[in-house]
Structure 1
């Protein structure tokens, strides 16, 4: 599998990474899926302390035992559970990050994390304090690099200008072209990498996903989504999922597309898709003609 340097880091990541949230909690099934992903050339595993209340990190940790050096391990921090309180609380404080990383390391069965990411963020956060936590962990060798996972352009700008993040994880697909207007040019200009998540738009950009269009997506109606899908299928002579997975990779600055899989068949299809030829300029233009660029409005 082709590998790209993630931003300004020394991390070489495959064009497709595994979004581990999809593996479920059944150990045997999850481990077989993760082992097959690694055996087939995927080297970036992305998890979070939030997923399945830490169980996801535990399973990833078991899967990489004995092959840690072959894996680029990414996880996230910022959402915490408070005793006696329903739901999650957001905490980007230095104290919490320095505490939470210890729990993640224990669950993952490792003494370092390749890419530690803030799992969200707002302008109301103590951003300098948050950055201090990541910088301290990097200096101590607990993490190799840090980044943020965000769809808020204004937050991304703050971290780009005030920190040494090497990557931004952001939702980016044919149906969600919002990063193209504000985020991608900024990352390209500063040498920061993009990890593109959600490439198949909750399954809508797959051959089996037509039934999901009735839910709508990012303000698009079912009718609009059906028209987009039809025009893409007519204009691009590839399987729809292949087109969807290759689209973010055709953008300058996109180093890796993160795709989840809950079955071996989905995993193999994802890997086959990125093994195909890159989109041509003609294909990319046809896609952009079929689906208008949307912009960030609510999340800033």
Structure 2
């Protein structure tokens, strides 16, 4: 599997990355998925302290035990869980970030994180303080690089222009092309995009036709427009997953396209799709079918 550098970070990640949020809560199953991913050449694993209340990080850490030098490990911070409270509260303070990273390290079973990401962000954050936390963690060798996971253009721009962040994780796919407007800004900051939602909640897989009937819409598509679009996309190819992955990776600014899997079958389907060659003309044709929406909120 080919690798790309995240920004100018020195971190080279597989073009397909593994989003770990949907992992089953079974260590043996997770180990099998991770082993298969590594065997296929996937070296980029993304989790977050929020997922399953930290349980996801612990599962990832156990599954990767003894193979730390083979992988690029990413996790996230900012969504603070408070004992006795439901849900979480946003906390981008320096104090919290420097406390939370210790807990993530413990759960992941490692003494450093390759890519530490702010898991959201608001314009009310003290961005200077937040960035100071990441920079100090870099100097301490606790993290190698840092980035942000957000779809808020105003938050992203402020974070990038004030820091040495190397990545922006954004929901991006054939059905959600809103990030394209901001690619030049991210490129100018010498950062890369890491895409999540690459397969659009399964709409761009073989299960898309059955899934779309249960959805009220997606991004800017209403229910009827979404069904029409998904039907049209599936009518153009018998391997829409391959086209979806290739579409994301045709952009040089994209360092890795994350795929979220909850089973071995889903992982293997995505690996096969990645290996399926898609021509530039095929990509151009299928891209012409989809709408390029823009973010309506959080404008710069």
TM-score by length of 2: 0.95
In the TM superposition, 1:21-60 aligns within 5 A as: 21-60=21-60
Aligned partner of 2:226 in structure 1 is: 225
Over the residues paired in the alignment, what is the CA RMSD in angstroms?
A: 1.4
2:180 alignment partner, SS class:
helix
Aligned partner of 2:83 in structure 1 is: 83
Deviation of residue 279 (structure 1)?
A: 4.4
| Uncovered stretches (5+) of structure 2, i.e. residues with no partner | none
2:21 alignment partner, SS class:
helix
- Whole-angstrom CA distance in 2 between matches of 1:278 and 1:14: 18
Deviation of residue 192 (structure 1)?
A: 0.7
1:75 alignment partner, SS class:
strand
- Deviations along 1:61-110, whole A, 9 cap, x unmatched? 11111110001000000001113322100000000000000000000000
Deviation of residue 273 (structure 1)?
A: 1.6
- Whole-angstrom CA distance in 2 between matches of 1:189 and 1:101: 29
Aligned partner of 2:174 in structure 1 is: 174
Deviation of residue 284 (structure 1)?
A: 2.9
Aligned partner of 1:139 in structure 2 is: 139
Aligned partner of 1:276 in structure 2 is: 276
Aligned partner of 1:286 in structure 2 is: 285
In the TM superposition, 1:92-131 aligns within 5 A as: 92-131=92-131
Decide whether the 8 Å contact of 1:47 with 1:76 is kept in 2.
yes
Aligned partner of 2:266 in structure 1 is: 266
- Whole-angstrom CA distance in 2 between matches of 1:230 and 1:191: 37
- Whole-angstrom CA distance in 1 between matches of 2:268 and 2:163: 37
2:201 alignment partner, SS class:
coil
Deviation of residue 24 (structure 1)?
A: 1.9
- Whole-angstrom CA distance in 2 between matches of 1:230 and 1:68: 42
- Whole-angstrom CA distance in 2 between matches of 1:54 and 1:66: 20
In the TM superposition, 1:232-251 aligns within 5 A as: 232-235=233-236, 237=237, 239-251=239-251
| Uncovered stretches (5+) of structure 1, i.e. residues with no partner | none
Deviation of residue 278 (structure 1)?
A: 4.9
Aligned partner of 2:200 in structure 1 is: 201
Decide whether the 8 Å contact of 1:200 with 1:241 is kept in 2.
yes
- Whole-angstrom CA distance in 2 between matches of 1:278 and 1:148: 30
Deviation of residue 252 (structure 1)?
A: 2.8
Establish whether residue 158 from structure 1 lines up as the match of residue 150 from structure 2: no
